Amino acid sequence: MNTPGANRSASSVPASSVPTSSASAALAAVPALLELQAVEHVFADGSAGLRGCSLALGRGRRHALLGPNGAGKTTVLQHLNGLLRPTGGRMLWNGRPYEYGRAGLTDLRRRVGLVFQNPERQLFSAQVEEDVSFGPLNLGLDETTVRARVAAALDAVGLAGFGARAVHHLSFGQKKRVCIAGVLAMQPEVLLLDEPMAGLDAPMQRELTALLDGLAARGVTVLLSTHDVDFAYAWADDIHLMAAGRCIASGAAHDVVLQADALQAAGQRQPAALALHAALAARGVLADGPAPRSVDALLEALHALPAASPAQPLACPEPAAQRHAPAPQTQEQTQNQPQQGQPQDRQGHAHHRSGETPA
């Protein structure tokens, strides 16, 4: 089953150009709830989506999937939810192979919920309450239970009281929240989110982060794809790096971000908090040791230091345009500058049109 919109461009990057995967070593160290084992996927047009991708998700942990466009992130998410089937390798749930019959997929999608990047692909009812209740109703739950689940899910995403609203009147961010509510109403064990922060303003991003943290604290396994290495380092317990259809590094966030070659292959830079901490430690401002996980945490560490005597300001190089620009003139220089059309003597003094001659 090939789903439109799946990421198909992993075949454009040669597999030999990325580092050897360290994900297989991580598989043995993590008690996996969900697992890809050497999964291959070839789309109907012959392009490769995944090439021997191995990845394990530990139960109750927060996972971030990082990689450039075309690396296979969306394809991984759709395999985990059963929307796509491997053309090679296998998918495991609690150590057992996926069952792709009707009953098996229904059970899988009740346990593993997926939120698409574009909410328009997931919303199909005219009213918010109708859309959120679709999944629980398909589970065969009674009306009272469905209403309770819908109310709790909308409240969890900050949309309490929005049940009667028309979906097409909602903002992009609100539509994303409705999609998340629809998945939460199924009470899944695993929540998958494809680029959930895209299109959200800063307050909404903070609210969504708090929601995901609360779900993880209740034991829900969360995996999201993102391009933001700073967010991934600050939020995730585990980071998985994707490149050319393979997971090339997988493990604890504080370990994976130290793998410079893998970060570069996955189109990522070193997290800013890590780079700043290393620079400050090298100058003796901060002690060596584990780096704070965010720039905000790094600032708190700096504010906690005892106040020092005022230091000389750093000499910052000027931009090239400023280095070559003429120095600003004083008021006296401006007044003495001849106006356009005034004759000058040999010493540069202007002869005023009133007939005044220089002394």
pLDDT at 350 over 80: no
pLDDT attached to residue 31 = 72
How do residues 151-186 score in pLDDT, each as one tens digit?
999 999 989 999 999 999 999 989 999 999 999 999
74 within a domain of the structure (yes/no): yes
Report the alpha-carbon distance of residue 328 to residue 335 in Å, rounded: 13
Chain-wide mean pLDDT for the chain?
A: 83
Higher pLDDT, 92 or 359: 92
Residue ranges making up the domain that contains 194: 21-276
User: Could you give the number of structural domains in the chain?
Assistant: 1
User: How sure is the predictor about 25, in pLDDT bands with cuts at 50, 70 and 90?
Assistant: very low
Q: Give residue 286's pLDDT.
A: 87
Short-list 25, 29, 74, 11, CA closest to 54: 25
Asked if 247 and 75 count as a contact pair (C-beta separation under 8 A), the reply is: no
Residue 322 forms part of a structural domain: no
Of 245-259, 302-316, 344-358, where does mean pLDDT reach its minimum?
Answer: 344-358
Q: For 274-329, write each residue's pLDDT tens digit.
A: 999 999 999 888 888 888 888 999 888 888 888 765 555 555 556 555 555 555 56
Residue 250 belongs to a domain: yes
Give the CATH number for residue 241.
3.40.50.300
* pLDDT for position 306: 84
pLDDT digit string (tens) for 48-95?
999 999 999 999 999 999 999 999 999 999 999 999 999 999 999 999
Q: How far apart are CA 174 and CA 180, in angstroms?
A: 10
Q: Is residue 351 part of a domain?
A: no
Which region holds residue 320: left if phi is over 0, alpha if psi is between -120 and 50, else beta?
Answer: alpha
Higher pLDDT, 105 or 353: 105
Does the residue 243 lie in any domain? yes
What is the Cα–Cα distance from 59 to 54, expressed in whole angstroms? Answer: 17
Which of 179, 235, 276, 291 shows the shortest CA–CA distance to 66? 235
Nearest Cα to Cα of residue 80 among 63, 251, 67: 63
Contact indicator for 244, 75 with CB cutoff of 8 Å:
no
Residue 329 lies in a domain: no
Q: Give yes or no for residue 113 having a pLDDT over 70.
A: yes
Q: Does residue 249 carry a pLDDT above 70? A: yes
Is 311 contained in some domain?
no
Helix, strand, or coil (residue 88):
strand
User: Residue 238 domain-assigned?
Assistant: yes
pLDDT at 11: 42
More confident residue, 251 or 23: 251
Three-class SS of residue 152?
helix
Cβ atoms 58, 238 nearer than 8 A: yes
Q: Would you give the DSSP letter of residue 293?
A: S
